Structure 1
Amino acid sequence: MTGIRQLADHLQLSIGTVSRALNGKADVNAQTRERVLKAAMELGYVPNQSGRSLRKGTTSTVGLILTQGNSLGENNDNFFFGVIHGLQTALKKHKLDLVLLLCSRDEDPDSFLQRMVAQRIVDAVILTATRTHDERFDILRRANMPFVTLGRSESLGDASWIDLDFEGIARSSVTRLFGRGHRRIAVAVPNVDANLGPLFLEGYRQGLADCGLPFDENIVFHAETSEEGGYDVAEKVLATEDRPTAILLIAELMSVGLYRRLGEAGLTPGRDLAVIAERESPVGRFLLPRLTCFRLDLDALGRMLGEMLLSNLPTFAENYKDVPKGKIWPLELVEGESDPPLEMKETLLSDG
């Protein structure tokens, strides 16, 4: 690997001259600059990013912290692929790179963040899988490291954040199902401490109250937000004495396992159990009946998240002063066939 010293020796120029030529400084004549750039390409020159970072005091890098198996990025979910594209679109305008910092499911998220901060491998971070009370915010504040969050928390203070409208999704889903004749509506929420679970559950409670329905802890099912979690939820539904006629799922991936277990029991999703899921993903196109769920613009979400981060970086803050400090991101209902009116179910059963 050719570094700047080897390049300078090859050209018989000083390191300072080569450095200024590579960085486009005006005090290097055009002929020398062209000669340096040509040699750099031929010899495979690789800049020493660590040295540059030390001199600048920055890395020009933003870290997106993900926890393996967290409730938003698990298994085949495409959520973060779309968000990352939008993030990179916003950051590359200012020549900032995005790196993924993956916290193992076996490592404490607070310890992981402390290690990343101590190494100073990024200039700012984006936190995900926020908890109701999250110690990571204090870690970043003590380190004077800018950050934004994808998710809300009671510990946020004045930090910038974006979150999906979990309450609105759950509340409107209950109202939709109630209007279709359902009176016993279950809900599946994550079995982890991410704050999206309590938010979704609160929206579910509000929806029940809007419709004059009682809250029943016996049909609140806690599970992993995965195919396996959906299978487990279906097991619990089947074992419930007063079986619900409808269910809300916090993640669409759960529908795969739920459909499978219902089928094993000789039941049909939609006909025997109405289903609405929190968010659309590619898997929904291959489910029968097609799942009723919610859609959002992941690319736009990622761009907004990037702009929020830029508004917290001193170098770029002035250009992003109109970016909001917090935003609940809306989702659009995508109607499928998995939540038909209850009277349709009864008609199908009688015809059968």
Structure 2
Amino acid sequence: MNIRRLADHLNISIGTVSRALNNRPGVHPETLEKVLKAATELGYVANQSGRSLRRGATNTIGFVIETGHPAHQAGDQFFYVVLDAMNLYLAEQRYDLVILPCHSADDPVEFLSRVIARGIVDALVMTATRRVDHRIAQLAKSKLPFMTLGRSETPGNYSWIDLDFEGVARRSVQEAVKLGHRRIAVGLPDNDVALGYHYKAGYLKGLAEAGIPVDESLLIRVPTSELGGFSLGKQVAGMAGQPTALLLCSEVTAAGVYAAFAEMGIEAGRDISVVAFRENPLMRFLNPAPACFRLDLDALGTRLGETVLDLLSPDEEIGRRRGEIVPLTFVQGKSLQPPRNPA
């Protein structure tokens, strides 16, 4: 299926089809949707070069990342380190890695439709996975191999790697309870990203194991950013029945929480204990140092590279879809102390 046949099938000019596939202006939204849908369903692959066409591969892996969100800006180095390690591994296997940025203003399903139609990569790694993720359903209809960083409840036979958000939250509650904390708040993402769901599940399990009833007012949703953390810190510090401990689903919010506490005369550890999600070099400037969890980002990047290349293996056993949860190691910090006034 080439662009001429695709245009004939749709009874649309080649120029219009080309503009739609390349996201050029001047294409009616209904026409754009029709072209992208047909390209996916009919297996259209762009002719990137004669060499790639002859061997049937581009030797390129795509990494889809959402941009325009505070969590992906300068405050967090997560993707820089992971991509560097993944790129190194793929280069050793004679593959190139390309980053495919989908801006928050774009429709993510439409964005993926264009990527699939252009045929610029042999496989995809998708991030920012949602509990119900329409991008997965879109990819499952195509022939393009893919995996996700993060689990989803969307049906399909696809590989995924996820961090142990549930285990981290559960352990965080356990560490707080051991010190005598009973009123434990948690900061969760304000969107439908799957990691927030798993973190909440671990938090609830930890409370249940300790025999602590759930107080919905202590489950606080804020944007995953420094500003979101500032809002979270303000809310927690201003509560009438102030919590003695606060768990953070994302380390990105930690700086904002500490800033809010300082403004309101609250000291982390002394007044409210804090347990952040992942150890981040930027958090070493926070005083007292937050308790958190350590993750080998280089190993994660290498594992992503191994898993996505497995999808391209002619060996059915190697290429079999699989899921993997990556554990993290607890790191004690001075921000986690016994409560001043235990319940």
C-alpha displacement of 1:70: 5.2
Distance 2:167 2:73 in 1: 23
Q: Which residue of 2 is the match for residue 165 of structure 1?
A: 164
Question: 1:191 matched to which residue of 2?
Answer: 190
Instruction: Map 1:84-163; keep pairs closer than 5 Å.
Output: 84-163=83-162
Work out the CA distance in 2 between the residues paired with 1:310 and 1:81.
Answer: 20
Cα pair distance change 1:323/1:115, threshold 3 Å: closer
Distance 1:185 1:162, change over 3 A: same
Q: Partner letter of residue 300 of structure 2? A: L
Q: 1:123 and 1:322 mapped to 2: Cα distance?
A: 14
Q: Aligned partners of 1:134, 1:272: CA distance in 2, in Å? A: 40
**Structure 1 unmatched runs, 5+:** 1-47, 348-352
Deviations 1:60-105 (A, max 9, x none): 1110000015586344211112211221233223211000000101
Could you tell me which residue of structure 2 aligns to residue 6 of structure 1? none
Query: What is residue 234 of structure 1 aligned with on the other side?
Result: 233
Residue matched to 1:269: 268
Q: Check conservation: 2:183, 2:244, Cα contact below 8 A.
A: yes
CA distance in 2, matches of 1:213, 1:179: 13
Bigger shift: residues 279-288 or 54-63: 54-63
**Contact in 1 for aligned 2:132/2:154 (Cα 8 Å):** yes
| Letter matched to residue 336 of structure 2 | D
1:229 Cα deviation after fit? 0.8
Please state whether the residue corresponding to 2:278 is helix, strand or coil: coil
Between the aligned partners of 2:163 and 2:73, the Cα distance in structure 1 is 17
User: By how many angstroms is 1:321 displaced?
Assistant: 2.0
Q: How many residues align?
A: 296
What's 1:295 paired with?
294
Change (3 A) 1:160 1:168: same
CA distance in 1, matches of 2:294, 2:99: 25
Closer, same or farther: CA 180–69 of 1 in aligned 2, 3 Å:
farther
In 2: Cα distance, 1:68 partner to 1:328 partner: 25
Deviation of 1:226 (Å): 1.3
| Residues 37-65 of structure 1: CA deviation (Å, up to 9, x unaligned) | xxxxxxxxxxx973422333322111000
Is the partner of 1:259 in helix, strand or coil?
helix
Q: Which residue of 1 aligns with 2:204?
A: 205
Give RMSD over aligned pairs. 2.1
Q: Distance in 1 between matches of 2:311 and 2:156?
A: 14
User: Quick one: distance in 1 between partners of 2:92 and 2:102?
Assistant: 28
Offset from partner CA, 1:234-269 (integer Å, 9 cap, x none): 121133221111100011121101111110111111
- In structure 1, what is the Cα distance between the partners aligned to 2:113 and 2:171? 39
* Matches of 2:156 and 2:119, distance apart in 1: 24
What is the CA-CA distance between 1:322 and the residue it aligns to? Answer: 8.8
The match for 2:324 among 312, 327, 330 is: 327
Q: Residues 255 and 209 from structure 1, CA distance in 2 versus in 1: closer, same or farther, beyond 3 angstroms?
A: same
Q: Is the CA contact (8 Å cut-off) linking 1:165 and 1:328 kept in structure 2?
A: yes
Q: Counterpart of 2:5? A: none
The percentage of aligned residue pairs carrying the same residue is: 45
1:251/1:66 Cα in 2 relative to 1: closer, same or farther (>3 Å)?
A: same
Q: Is the 8 A contact 2:71 2:225 kept in 1?
A: no
1:21-36 equivalent positions in 2, closer than 5 A? none
Conserved 8 A contact 1:71-1:129: no
- Contact residue 186 and residue 220 of structure 1 kept, 8 A: yes
Gaps of 5+ in 2: 1-46
- Which whole-Å CA distance do the structure 1 matches of 2:232 and 2:137 have between them? 36
Instruction: Specify the alignment match of 2:248 in structure 1.
Output: 249
Instruction: Give every structure 1 segment of 4 or more consecutive aligned residues whose post-TM-superposition deviation is greater than 6 Å.
Output: none
CA distance in structure 1 between the aligned counterparts of 2:149 and 2:320, rounded to whole angstroms: 15
Question: TM-score scaled by structure 2?
Answer: 0.82
1:267-299 CA distance string (max 9 Å, x none)? 111111100001011111111001110011111
Q: Distance in 2 between matches of 1:115 and 1:213?
A: 49
Question: Would you say the 8 A contact 1:276–1:339 is kept in 2?
Answer: yes
